[in-house]
Chains A and B, each alone.
Chain A
């Protein structure tokens, strides 16, 4: 086979490659809007998971506050051995770890969905194929080539077309795979995602509950809302005990501050309870949106996005509340 024939064969293969790649490019596309929708959903899940962690942390914080207050009120400096005093966590470490594992699993799941849906990897792929094209052109234009090869095997234009072909095939592969994997994984994960959200919602506490006190709700099982309400109420009572027992020893201003603080604790109790309820609402919204992720691929369908909006509805308010609690 002489050089001319090899060259002709290359050109033929080349033309087919270009044709196939552009056909593939036309058949497949993972529009920017789909990537954005899935990314927004993933961010909503991550934010809800952060808020769920904060919800559990708030239970521990208030429990610790209550136990500390209880201890301080009963503390007898003569008979108490401070070395033996310990305030344990409410939820034992191993039980918390199991919940944290699920939260992190769901975080990782949404993070992966986001990464796969985003065009970051496609951009990286574009950069690499562009570099490949440039490298091929470099080799063509070296003075070495003109000295060793007697004829131009490919023109720069042909090389550009070749690398564009490789780029199109690669893009198609990535698009096809991610669309396929997102669809099948989401379908397989639907039940588990739903169960996770139901379990956390159940543990935090369903709505609606009694207006006056979540302790007399219709739920026949312990919830974080009941626990939080109880600890805040105990904390209020114990703080009030301190006030009434020390009325004669406190200045007017100190009394005023303590009374003000009691009102603030009462207010915080209600806000904390409402926040837990809002976390439940976000948790309810996740499986609804997740079940409809298929609709994210239909650019004209807004069902998915309206469900995603429900996840975000109170997410920022919840975040602000918990951040406020942390800085107190």
Chain B
């Protein structure tokens, strides 16, 4: 982990700790003044945490993209097999159709002046 990342992590952790402390203080406080003061801070810290979180989640997106490509490879192989099975069934159907056509043609044969 780089120095910059370390600093970002430390900053985020300190924000999380701060949010947690504010949250506990809010419910522990018994006056409107104290709750008002805390809630203003909490909103601000909460939004900062969100910004840090979005960055962290976004940094994982490349990993997800990479995995999506790999899974696609496996899916292609399975798709190929499904095609092979379908083609086998199609071939049998095609032969059946040919025979059915021959049968139809043969019905007319006696009518021809052979």
Contact = CB atoms under 8 A, between A and B. Distances in A.
Residue of B16, B26, B42, B89 with most partner-chain A CB within 10 A: B89
A87 to B, nearest CB: 12
A226 B61 contact: no
A265 to B, nearest CB: 13
A183 to B, nearest CB: 12
Interface in B16-40: 16-17, 19-20, 23, 26, 32, 35, 39
Contacts of A139: 99, 102-103, 106
A106 interface: yes
Interface stretch (A8-16, A127-135, A316-324): A127-135
B96 A135 contact: yes
A113 B67 contact: no
Interface residues of A, number: 68
A132 B39 contact: no
B86 to A, nearest CB: 8
Nearest to A99: B64
A76 interface: no
Interface string B77-108: 11101101110110011011001101100110
Contacts, number: 167
Given A132-B92, A221-B56, A185 B17 contact: no
A145 B35 CA distance: 99
A68 interface: no
B71 A105 contact: yes
B67 A102 contact: yes
B15 to A, nearest CB: 10
A132 B99 contact: yes
Interface in A129-159: 129, 131-132, 135-136, 138-139, 142-145, 147-148
Given A91-B57, A101-B68, A170-B88, A234 B35 contact: no
A234 B23 CA distance: 8
A135 B13 CA distance: 75
A103 to B, nearest CB: 9
A237 B42 contact: yes
Given A92-B58, A192-B67, A196-B67, A181 B16 contact: no
A326 interface: no
Contacts of A185: 74, 77-78
A76 to B, nearest CB: 15
Contacts of A23: none
Contacts of A216: 16-17, 20
B25 to A, nearest CB: 11
A226 B35 CA distance: 23
Contact of A222 (B42, B56, B61): B56
B92 A98 contact: no
Interface stretch (A172-180, A271-279, A304-312): A172-180
Interface of A: 63, 70, 90-92, 94-95, 98-99, 101-102, 105-106, 108-109, 112-113, 115-116, 121, 124-125, 128-129, 131-132, 135-136, 138-139, 142-145, 147-148, 166, 170, 173-174, 177-178, 181, 184-185, 188-189, 192, 195-196, 199, 203, 213, 215-216, 220-222, 226-227, 230, 233-234, 237-238, 241, 244-245
25 contacts: A70-B43, A92-B58, A102-B71, A105-B67, A105-B71, A112-B79, A121-B85, A132-B95, A135-B103, A142-B103, A143-B110, A145-B106, A147-B110, A148-B109, A178-B81, A181-B77, A181-B78, A185-B78, A192-B71, A196-B67, A215-B23, A220-B9, A226-B16, A234-B43, A237-B26
Interface of B: 9, 12-13, 16-17, 19-20, 23, 26, 32, 35, 39, 42-43, 46, 49-50, 52-54, 56-58, 60-61, 63-65, 67-68, 70-75, 77-79, 81-82, 84-86, 88-89, 92-93, 95-96, 99-100, 102-103, 106-107, 109-110
